[in-house]
Amino acid sequence: MVQWIVSECKSITGQAGEKSVQSMKAVNLTNRQARRFLLAHHGLGAQPEFTGKAGALSYIRRVGCIQYDPLNIVGRNPELVLQSRIPDFKPPLLQALLYEDRSLIDGMDKVMSIYPVDDWPYFSRYHDEARRYYGSQEAVAGALSEVRQAILSRGPLSSDDLDLDQTVDWAWAPTRLARAALESMYFWGELVVHHKKNNQKYYDFADRHLPESVLSADDPNITDEQYWDWRVFRRIGGVGVLWEKSGDAWVGIRKLKAKERRETFGRLYSDGRLIRLQVEGIPTPLYARTEDWERSAAAIDDPIESPRASILAPLDNLLWDRRLIAAIFGFEYIWEVYKPLQQRTYGYYVLPILYGDSFVARFEPGRDKRTGNLVIKNWWWESGIEPTADMMAELKRCFRRFMDFLGADTMEIDSGLAARESIAGLAT
């Protein structure tokens, strides 16, 4: 059972010197209860919580955003995030939400992400900063008139459609002025992604696709404190629980230093918007949004009679703070695509597998270029895992769902795979 600890905290309200005392809740959790809360928050419990387009939108609204990455080995990251939560998910569902319904939008949040279009006004500071920075670059400023005229007369365009071939310094490496100009206008909110062909972005004017009520809305965060409160609160919800220390979960929140983060946690906790969790074996307090706790806390003691298996994305929200996941789940995971071959522990593109409330395995997937079949190139059971008949039956169902997501007819297991015998039943 959950053990509640009630403590008192004094917070400053109203005029200077005026104090009010409020009671705030803190909760002691076992490690397993913490796992169950996180899985319930992410819709990864025994029964799927989210279904269809409405479910995908509801999940993204809960977590704020899902991270985008263009690499496509067995689906891109946002598609992999949603397939693990939405039964019968197919990539066109996400495309419809983005480019037909315009309920979601491509934008910068946790780096390149997908978030609800209603959140656009909250990124006013980012748009303003991008306009000041990119708009001051001489080459970009000189190209704006030509780019605007081209889109006005020809409609949505990609960088390949513009004859702006001057090379300029840009992000990771020098690039064509056409790309720099389009991306600049996109970063400051004048353009949005109209659609994509594979990884090629086609841009159009934002006012052709976003509601006037969204585009003309004032920044809801007037003060710096309000802005930090919103960003930290949003990011905690993106993961489910977080601790007040540095980590990958804070990537994309520019200028958020340790001092601002610490003070923001204090305000949110004092205001009752966060609840403090003390998890066994983890000396550092964790925090969850009170609204998330109130919604999902009931699941932490529920028995799991029929554990569900899920294949997670490499940049899944649940995995945003990898040190935290190691502390709660005992699962060490690093996406090794950017590591040199000789420094990889597992492989180039490796996906985790959940079963019940534990990570039980990871595997390296691929696609047969001729048939499109799913290929298991490598497989690693986690330490101490002894697969049972029930586990293998659920893993088989999980991989059948994954094949349906990919549109693959069959699955092949690499003939040289060391764990081939232990997973042979998955392919039958």
**What pLDDT digit, counting tens, does each position of 326-365 carry?**
999 999 999 999 899 999 999 999 999 999 999 999 999 9
Burial degree of 139 (CB within 10 A; 0-12, 13-18, 19+): middle
Q: Residue 221 pLDDT more than 90?
A: yes
In sequence order, the β-bridge partners of residue 375 are 366, 412
CATH placement of domain 137-209: 1.10.10
Q: Point out the least confidently predicted range of 9-18, 234-243, 384-393.
A: 9-18
Q: Residue 371 pLDDT more than 50?
A: yes
Please tell me the predicted confidence (pLDDT) of residue 427: 83
Q: CA 130, CA 125: separation in Å to the nearest integer?
A: 8
Q: Point out the least confidently predicted range of 10-24, 52-66, 338-352, 390-404.
A: 10-24
Burial degree of 341 (CB within 10 A; 0-12, 13-18, 19+): exposed
Please tell me the predicted confidence (pLDDT) of residue 303: 77
CATH 2.30.30 is the classification of domain 334-427: no
Please tell me the predicted confidence (pLDDT) of residue 25: 66
Q: Residue 7 pLDDT more than 60?
A: no
Please tell me the predicted confidence (pLDDT) of residue 16: 35
- What whole-number percentage of the chain has pLDDT above 90? 88
pLDDT tens per residue across span 175-187: 999 999 999 999 9
Please tell me the predicted confidence (pLDDT) of residue 363: 97
Q: CA 256, CA 125: separation in Å to the nearest integer?
A: 14
Q: Residue 21 pLDDT more than 70?
A: no
Q: Are residues 241 and 229 in contact, defined by beta-carbon separation less than 8 angstroms?
A: no
pLDDT tens per residue across span 101-155: 999 999 999 999 999 999 999 999 999 999 999 999 999 999 999 999 999 999 9
Count Cβ neighbours within 10 Å for each residue of 50-77 and write b for 16 or more, e otherwise. beeeebbbebbbbbbbbbbbeeeebbbb
Distance spanning both ends of the chain, measured CA to CA: 42
The average pLDDT across 400-425 equals: 92
Sheet containing 66-67: give its strands across: 66-67, 111-116, 104-109
pLDDT tens per residue across span 280-313: 999 999 999 999 999 999 999 887 778 999 999 9
- E strand intervals along 206-337: 242-243, 274-279, 286-289, 309-311
Q: Residue 1 pLDDT more than 60?
A: no
Class in CATH terms, 3-43+225-300: mainly alpha
Q: Residue 20 pLDDT more than 90?
A: no
| Identical fold, 3-43+225-300 and 137-209 | yes
**148: number of Cβ within 10 Å:** 15
Q: Residue 8 pLDDT more than 70?
A: no
Q: CA 29, CA 348: separation in Å to the nearest integer?
A: 36
pLDDT tens per residue across span 54-75: 999 999 999 999 999 999 999 9
Going from N- to C-terminal start, the domains of the chain cover 3-43+225-300, 137-209, 334-427
pLDDT grade for 428, boundaries at 50, 70 and 90: low
